[in-house]
Amino acid sequence: MSATTGAMHLTRRSATELATAIAAGEVTAREVTDEHLARIDAVDGSIHAFLHVDYEGARAQADAVDAKRAAGGPLGPLAGVPVALKDVFTQKGVPTTAGSRILEGWRPPYDSTVVSRLRDADCVILGKTNMDEFAMGSSTEHSGYGPTHNPWDTDRIPGGSGGGSAAAVAAFEAPLAIGTDTGGSIRQPASVTGTVGVKPTYGGVSRFGLIALASSLDQAGPCARSVMDAALLHQALAGHDPKDSTSLDLEVPDVVAAAKRADVRGMRIGLVSQLSGDGYQPGVRQRFDEAVEILTNLGAEPVEVSCPNFEYALAAYYLILPSEASSNLARFDGMRFGIRVGDDGDANVEEVMSATRAAGFGDEVKRRIMLGTYALSSGYYDAYYGQAQKVRTLIARDFDAAFSEVDVLLSPTAPTTAFKLGEKLDDPLAMYLNDVATIPVNLAGNAAMSLPIGLAPEDGLPVGLQIMAPSMADDRLYNVGAALETALRDKWGHLLIEEAPAL
Amino acid sequence: MSSQTSLTAAEVEHLARLARMSLTDEELTRYAGQLDQILHAVDRVGEVAVDEVPPMSHPQPLVNVWRADVVTPGLTADDVLAGAPAAEDERFRVPRILDGE
């Protein structure tokens, strides 16, 4: 295949197709990688999905896959398929910043388990994607290195915190990407970029080497352009890891088989009354209602479900998350890694620490660290952190009650389509409201997916549907998601992402 | 509940000091208003009746994890110190930790 005719072709293929073509010898892993690197060179100036492109490393990984194939060795299920990695994962020798200036120039001495699993699957890691600093945000505008732009409209946000990963996939810079989801950071970017994103069950994917935001909420997962591609990546990532004490030592649900099944006949799908209504944009509600109708026509039975404590999820989350974050981010003290400021030989350690953290952290990180410090301080602990933990129990109980009646729950993923860059930057609370529908799942620890269900008529921008499943029933997400995706693809003649403007 | 919180710049400065961040006056004033607004919003958790409700710190029950007592390779001092802002004699070099003479 020549580079000129192949460029468009290879970058627009699915991960599933690329893996098959590489395994069959129709195309080399090196060709696939080179075409994606060329695409990044061509479009990332206007998207800024990547903080670092690992040209040399990616080509070496691709060559290794080709050599392995030539030698007749067994290939991983995603052999030669390029993946973009959120910059919150350590990758040995490759710059890792978590979107923060405080880690500028740091090259980790070890691989995260997610990276090890990608290597085991023979994936090619193209580079590190942009994100809100330490994953705090819903727009990537809180990145210390400038925002990512939405491929559908470069004046708009790509969501956050994993806006870089979602935009890389939506802009055909990579067929697959890795995200992390603490309050919606995989699902909300998927929603506003017309892509698929999954937050697995907490403990489903190892957190070893994931720079922690809130340890009881963080979970890594796949970003892709189709449900099947997401399933393949999910399967490559998931499974027990002795290096993470919260990693679940349970059999991983067969998400690939579920994506192939794509059959919702007889399933009960719950519509959460607390995640609808006036706060949701009319076009979001319209596409959501249409998607429910499609699933109903496919044989599912819709049921209204009430989760009364979801109304308090946002409040509980913005106490629990800052509390855990303020503790986790204490490690960035300018002593062992990253930058150090004000070490003039006279200043003491506390002064250097305070100057380093003031210079290295951005606004949102500083706000949340202080919020957490406040919520954990004596005199406020019971009223804030303690109370939020009890509300968290009630939210988990709401899920338990709902899942005793239905197989999955549905809601819009985000209340609106992509908003303009800068629109909510100075209003933290307005920014937080983007995650109102995604946060309950993080608090309870179960699994959820966002997939595209059309464009909002009023602005022509993608709308996402959220599917929520019980813990360790991640396969249901893929079954329902694939059924809906197939029906929509039959209706449109293609995936929604094909309608994204050329860059 | 501490419902009618109203954070002053002085209180924000205290929090910033606890969190080891030296903030400018402009930052202190700006954050005071924003944190105040956020605290009023999160105050809503106080509206929920939680008597008899156990707190939840974690989505899955935490259990102690043992592993076999087998030696596995770790990082070398060089690997670790390569990312340090300052190193000396195979150690992290840090600013002075005591005041005065």
Residue B100 has pLDDT above 70, yes or no: no
The answer to whether residue A367 is domain-embedded is no
Nearest CB neighbour to A392, from listed B27, B56, B98: B56
Residue A116 has pLDDT above 60, yes or no: yes
Give me the residue spans of the domains in chain B. Answer: 1-52
* Total structural domains within chain A: 1
Note whether A313 contacts B: Cβ–Cβ < 8 A. Answer: no
Overall average pLDDT of the A49-63 stretch: 98
Q: Angle A286-A290-A293 (CA atoms, 0-180°, nearest 5)? A: 145
The answer to whether residue A349 is domain-embedded is no
User: Sorting pLDDT into bands at 50, 70 and 90, what band is A4?
Assistant: very low
Smallest CA–CA separation between A380 and chain B, in Å? 8
Q: pLDDT tens-digit profile of B57-95?
A: 999 888 888 888 999 899 999 999 999 999 999 999 999
**Shortest CA distance from B91: residue in chain A:** A336
**pLDDT (0 to 100) of residue A2:** 40
β-pairing, A176-180 with A196-199?
unpaired
**pLDDT (0 to 100) of residue B63:** 82
The answer to whether residue A343 is domain-embedded is no
In A217-276, the residues whose Cβ lies within 8 Å of chain B are: 242, 245-246, 248
ipTM of this predicted complex?
0.93
- Phi, psi dihedral angles at A423 (to 5 degrees): -60, -40
The answer to whether residue A263 is domain-embedded is yes
Nearest CB neighbour to A380, from listed B2, B62, B67: B2
- What is the fold, at CATH topology level, of the domain defined by B1-52? Histone, subunit A (1.10.20)
Print the domain residue range for A458.
3-314+386-499
**A312 to chain B: which residues are within 8 Å by CB?**
44-45, 47-48
Helix (H, G, I), strand (E, B) or coil at A328: helix
Note whether B85 contacts A: Cβ–Cβ < 8 A. Answer: yes
End-to-end CA distance of chain A: 23
Residue A41 has pLDDT above 80, yes or no: yes
In B22-61, the residues whose Cβ lies within 8 Å of chain A are: 22-23, 27, 31, 34-35, 37-39, 41-48, 50, 53-60
The answer to whether residue A462 is domain-embedded is yes
Tell which residue, A324, A334, A323, has the closest CA to residue A358.
A334
Give the domain CATH number at A279: 3.90.1300.10
Note whether B68 contacts A: Cβ–Cβ < 8 A. Answer: no
The answer to whether residue A337 is domain-embedded is no
Residue A8 has pLDDT above 70, yes or no: no
Torsion angle defined by CA atoms of residues A57, A106, A204 and A440, in that order, rounded to the nearest 10 degrees: -130
Residue A342 has pLDDT above 70, yes or no: yes
Per-residue burial over A46-82, b = 16 or more CB atoms within 10 Å of its CB, e = otherwise:
ebbbbbbbbeebbbebbebbbebbeeeeebbbbbbbb
Q: How many CB atoms lie within 10 A of CB A27?
A: 18
**Enzyme catalytic residues of A:** 86, 161, 185
> Could you give the percent of chain A with pLDDT greater than 90?
96
pTM (2 decimals)? 0.96
